[in-house]
Every structure is written in structure tokens, then in C-alpha cells.
Structure 1
Amino acid sequence: MFRSSFNHRLAQKYVSSFPLFDQTYSIQKLYHKDWLSPNEVVKIFNNLEPNSVLPMLNHISKRKDYKPNEPLFTVIITKLGQVKNFGAIDDMLKLIKIQKSIRISDEFFYNVMKIYGNVGGLSNKVIETLFNMPEYNCWPSTKTFNFVLNFLVCSKKFDELHNVFLGATKLGVEIDACTLNILIKGLCKCGRLEDAYQLFDEFPKQRCKPNKQTFCTIMHCMCEKGMVDEAFGLIDRMEKEGISPDAVTFNVLVSGLQKQGRIDESIELLDRMRLMGCDPNKGTYQEVLYGLLKSKRYVDAKKFVHRMRSKSLIPSFLSYKLLVLGLCQENMLGEVDWVLKSMVSVGFVPRRGMWRTVVEKNISRHNALNIVSFCEIVKGLAN
């Protein structure tokens, strides 16, 4: 009777956002004398709320059938990560190190580092965990090592990035193309284009080959620095390496041309892509359209929208909005009618500000015919 009452009070203490039945049933099972297999324990902890896993771990560790293992600690650390209890995660890692009987895999540490990094933003803990792995008789895989490098690049921890990379040999990590691509991305992000370019020479030394991502990253950096023609030169190098440029590659070049106001060249590039056996995608067309709109070439932009629609591609809502407002600003009201109808046909609803501009322009020009046409569009929307 006493045990039943105690179990009920304990369950009520730790039940919160988790399903009531699962939470209560799981806690009560931990207090039964029935033998629990390791898999059953993992399932029970999966049903616990994050704040209850430590008290329940303390309890179950006193049971005779307690057999700590990696799946159990993976669940516990994941739960602690959900409530950002990183101090408790530190304690769990210390506990695992003491219990020599537990075999821990690379995947376990990969999960821990993702929690430290993606949830907590704790770059120091990510690096510390990586270099502490051998103390657990576990060595990082290339995948885990690359995760740390990429996290440091995304966090702009470029000094730490270099130090971690130098530790690859110490950790027994085999460098691959992904590793070098991450380094190139990091160098490009901090503006060290020449150093990034020199890493091309490292690929054969590491028995690796550069891929599309390698070239795209450097080409993007070149375009950001206004070196668009130099970026085009890498297309030839790609072909020599046996790599066929894809739409993403050309989109980088199109974007670079747009930033320099070289709109006609970006349009010509669409035809060049097809000759090279690469079909432009929606992103390619959209980038060209934005360039035309930015250059206030509204008539050409309208023709380009027609070209996109003929290929079943839908321009963005912002493109339509800029085109309508631009045509109104230039008093090209005869062109607005088709654009509005095209906009409505793809499911976009012109907003109040856009309609106000259109109507005001037509009223100021006394263009009753166009106003009637616009009213017909509004009527179509209502239906």
C-alpha cells in the first residue's frame, strides 16, 4: 500500500508536458521488482520528461539489473540537451569515462557534439569533446571531424578551425574532399581567396578530387570580390577535371554578372548553358529577372516573365510586385494589364497598396478602358 502511494506521488512529481499515461507507467515500471532488460530501460527513459531523467537514473543505478550502455546514455544526453542542461551532460561524460565497461561509439560523440554545437552554440565544448574521444577508447570518424570543422566555419571561429584541422593526424582522421571543401568555405568566408585557391593543390596530395561544390565555393567568392571573368575561367578547369557544371554553378555566375550590371550577358548565359548540356532552373531565370527589374528595364522584364511562364516557371511574388509598380512609375500602363492577369493566374493576390498605385495612375491618366479591365480582374478574384 505504501509503495503504491509512493509510486503515485513520484509519478505526479515528474509528469509535465509528456503524455500522462506513458510518463506515469514508465516511472512506476522503474520501481517494480520485475527484471528489466537494457532495451526496456531505454524505452522507459524515452517516455520520461527531460527534467526527470537524472532522478530516475540515480534510482535505476541502484537496481541489481542495471546495465549501463550507450543507447541509455544517448537518450539521457538527448533529453538533457532539450532543456539545455549542459552541465549535466558534462557530468554524464565524466560518469561514462569512469565506467570502463561501457563501449562508446563515434556516433554517440557525434550526437553529443551536435547538442553542444547546434543547441548550445558551445564551440569550446565541441572541440574539447572531439579531442577527448581517445580517452574513451574511441576515435573520431571523418564524418564527425568534418562536422566540427563545418560548425566552426558556420560559427566564424576561423582561428579554432585551423587548430582543429592540424589535429587531424593526432586523431587519426583521414582527410577527404569534404574536409578540404569545408576549409575552402572557411577561407572564402574570411576573405582569404588566394589561400582557398591554393587548396586546389592539396586535393591530389590527399588522394582526393575537387567536385562541383569546391568550384562553386571559390567562384562565389570571386564574384563577391568582383572577379566575375576570373570565375568564368574556372569553368574550363572544371571540364579539364572531368566535372560538368550544373545549374547551381551557372547560377553563381549569373548572380555575379547581375551585381556588375551585365544583364545582357546573363541572358546570353542561359543559351550557353543549354549548349553545354545544362538546363537553367527556376533560380537561374529568377536571378536574371531580378537583374532586369533592378536595371528598370521593365518592358524586357515583362517579356522575360512571359518567357518563364511559357516554360511553366512561376516568378516570385516580389518580381510581379516590382514589375507592376515599375511599369506604373514609368507610366507604361498598357503593359500592366497582362502582368496583373498573369499574376492572378498563378495564384498570387495583388495587395491593397499595389491596387492603389494602379488605380491612381489610371485615374490620373483618365484611362477608363484600363480601369474597366482592372475591375474585371478584381471580379475574377472575387469569384
Structure 2
Amino acid sequence: MIPRSTKALFKKPIFFQSTQSCTFIIKNPSNFSTHPSSSPPEIPKKLHHKDWLSPNEVLQVFTSVRDPNSILTALDHYSKRKDYKPNEALYTLIIAKLAEARLFDAIDSVMARIKGESKCRLSDDFFRSVIKAYGNVGGFINRAIDTLYDMPRYGCWPSVKTFNFVLHLLVSTKMFEVVHEVFLEAPRLGIEIDACSLNIIIKGLCEFGKLDGALQVLDEFPKQRCEPNALTFSTLMHGLCVNGKVDEAFGLLKRMEDEGIDPDTITFNILIAGLRKRGRFDEGIKLMEEMKFKGCDPNPGSYQEVLYCFLDAQRFLEAKGFMSWMISKGVGPSFVSYKALIHGLCKENLVQDVDWVLKQMIRQGFLPKMGMWRQILKSMFAEKNSHCCISYEEIVDS
């Protein structure tokens, strides 16, 4: 049973305009209508022959169609043959060609033909590809949702994977209010909610700024006979850290460990970044050592976050030493960290150290820009206590 009590969690602020049902603004209105080709429709010669065509030969025929605007004409011509027997592979090929050409009205026509003919059974994978074409390629979110809802009429019930894909599509396009509407349709579609479904809901609530609601969903897992995982907690921790609630994020770390869920590298990276953004640099540096003791190996993102801790704390010689250690481990620092370190070393007139950093930067394939060269030259020729006239923001943005 889907908890309808979560509906209030997605209640929008008054400054949003209301949405009617599942009708949305289309991202690319210019692509809504198809433009007819100026040349006559291309009908492959094999479709005119009376020889019986095998399914593989039919696929070859439609693969050879170069003009996407001719696809429907060729399909109509094929449907009049005695050996007409469409299958999922053919429809998948046709949908892919039409989507690539952004002929979404033509896809509508194909889907209407499929529903009217009932010539073949189609799988969940096929409908997921149609939903991806509408949603990811065309930006037609309403058509993607309608396709999900319409699947039973084609004799195919959606899997939770396809259902979750639509939920994720709505979150990624920031249609947070519609997420709950689709979520409530799960029983009608025969969907049994899983941990992934709830994780997507949590992500949507966090991005919508509804942290309390996201935390409430965490309590829904046992009610749905699901178990939260590291991704569940990492998503919540990220939402908390972004909003400056680092201590609350560490509270979740304790909770997940108490529940026997091992934090992963992403979990620790989120916490290190959260500490750094709150100016708690020593705690962030120490946390990387703690994660090792807990059996979690740091990744390049972990090292980069610790390097940023040193840089933000303006401990530039320590940052240089840590950068050297990173490079010895085969981890390349980011361009931004190189720029920030050079800026800090120039500010402290440590020209020899700048030389080392500059060489490492070039070896990694990064080319200093004019602003950075200007600062290096000023550091070389300025007096020891002179003030560098270029700000941190200028060197980072240069």
C-alpha cells in the first residue's frame, strides 16, 4: 500500500503556478510537429517484391531506409504484404530511427498502430525505450508518463525498473509535484515499490528543499517491506550538508551504522565536503583517516576534498605536500586546486614551490592562463612583503 500521507511532502510553495493533471510545458516546442520531406517517400525495393521476407530481412530493409520521414510510408507498405508480421525488434528499430530524427508525432502514429493491430507482444524493455525517447530525447514528459500508464492496454505491465525510470525522469527535470502523482499509481500498474523507488522520492524531496519530508520517507522503508541502503543515507546526508546541517548528517551516519549498513566512499566524501564548507577543515582531514579504519578505501574524490580542506584553510605548504602524495598515488589534482595553490604560494612569495606546482600542472595537461602567469611573474619580481593585487576569486575564475 502506497502511503498517501507523503502527498503533503511535495506540496508546492505559493509562488509556483499550478499544474493541471499531467500536462507539462514542452521543452522543445519546435520539435512537436514533424516537417514532411521535400523528396518523395523512400520505399525499399524489396518491399515491392513478391518473395517472402524473413524477419531478419525485414529488419535489413528498414535499416536501409535513409530518410526517417519515409519510415511510416515504408511501414504502411509492408503492412499490406501477405507476409506482414511485425515484431518487437522491428518496432524498436523504427522507434529508434524516428527518435534520432526527432519525429515524435511519427512515434505517436506507430504506437497507435501497435495498439490497434495487436499483431505482436511487446516487452517492458520496448516500452522503456519509448519512454526514454519521449522523455530523454524529446523532453516530452507528459508523453512519457502517458506511455507508462498506457502499457496495460498493450498487454504489458510495467516493471518496477520502468516505473522508477519515470520517477527519476520527473526528479531530474525538477517536476517534483508530479512525482507523488505517479508514485500513487503504482498499485494500479501492478508495481511493488522497492528501495530504489523510495530513494528517488527522497532525492526529489531533498532537491525540492523538503528535508523533513525526506527524513520521514526513511521511516517508510519498513512499512513498504524495504531496507534502506548506503545510497539512501548518502542522499539524505548530501541534502543536510548542502543546507549546513552537518551534525545532523553525522547523526545519520551513526544511525546507518547502528542498523548494520556500511557507509561507502561516497558517504564519507559527502561528509568531508560538508565539513569543509562549514570551515571545519581539521575534522574533514581527520575523517579521511577514519574511513580507512572502517574498511572504506578513499577514492580520487576523497583526496580532492581533503586537498580543498588544506587550501581553504590557507595551509598552502601542507597542501603542496598532500598534492605531491596524491600525484605519487596516481591521483591527479583538479585544475581549480592547482590554481588555488599557485595563488596561495604566490601570496606567500614561495616562488620555488610555485615552480614545482607549475611543472606538475603542465605534466597533467593543464595550461596556465594569462591571469595565472601574471600573478606568478608579479610574485617573482615583487618585494617579499608586497601585496599581490590579484584576488583569490580572480585566479580561480581566470
Determine the C-alpha separation between the residues in 2 that align with 1:153 and 1:364. 53
Aligned partners of 2:85 and 2:119 also within 8 Å: no
| Higher share of residues assigned helix | 1
Alpha-carbon distance between aligned partners in 1 of 2:320 and 2:72, rounded to the nearest angstrom:
63
Which residue of structure 1 aligns with residue 140 of structure 2? 122
Judge which range, 80-89 or 26-35, deviates more.
26-35
Residue 46 of structure 1 corresponds to 63
More displaced stretch, 350-359 vs 29-38: 350-359
**For 1:260 and 1:44, how far apart are their aligned partners in 2?**
62
Deviation at residue 72 of structure 1 after TM alignment: 1.6
* Contact in 1 for aligned 2:41/2:73 (Cα 8 Å): no
C-alpha displacement of 1:40: 1.4
After TM superposition, give the deviation of residue 168 of structure 1 in Å. 0.3
Equivalent positions of 1:92-131 (< 5 A) are: 92-131=110-149
Equivalent in 175, 185, 210 of residue 228 of structure 2: 210
1:283 to 301, 325, 330: 301
- Summarize the Cα distance change of 1:341–1:80 in structure 2 as closer, same or farther, 3 Å threshold: closer
**Which piece of structure 1 moves more, 70-79 or 149-158?**
70-79
Match of 2:104 in 1: 86
1:162 partnered with 2:144: no
Is 1:180 the counterpart of 2:185? The answer is no
Question: Rg: which structure is higher?
Answer: 1
Separation in 2 of the partners of 1:83 and 1:131? 25
- The CA RMSD over aligned residues, in Å, is 2.0
Q: Does the residue aligned with 2:331 lie in a helix, a strand or coil?
A: coil
The aligned runs of 1:20-35 (5 Å cut-off) are 27-35=44-52
2:143 partner letter: K
Task: For residue 292 of structure 2, give the secondary structure of its aligned residue in structure 1.
Answer: helix
Map residues 41-80 of structure 1 onto 2, 5 A cutoff: 41-49=58-66, 50-80=68-98
Shift of 1:179: 0.7
- Larger relative CO (CA 8 A, sep 6+): 1 or 2? 2
Structure 2 Cα separation of the partners of residues 293 and 275 of structure 1: 25
Query: How many angstroms does 1:344 deviate by?
Result: 4.0
Q: How far has the Cα of 1:351 moved from its partner?
A: 4.3
Q: Normalising to structure 2: TM-score of the pair?
A: 0.82
Gaps of 5+ in 1: 1-11, 16-25, 367-383
**Number of equivalences:** 345
Q: Unpaired segments of 5 or more residues in structure 2?
A: 1-38, 385-398
- Between the aligned partners of 1:262 and 1:229, the Cα distance in structure 2 is 11
Which residue identity is paired with 1:116?
Answer: Y
The match for 1:358 is: 376
Distance (Å, rounded) in 2 between the aligned partners of 1:86 and 1:53? 12
Provide the TM-score with structure 1 as the length reference.
0.85
Partners of 1:349 and 1:136 in 2: CA distance: 57
Which of 237, 240, 249 is 2:255 aligned to?
237
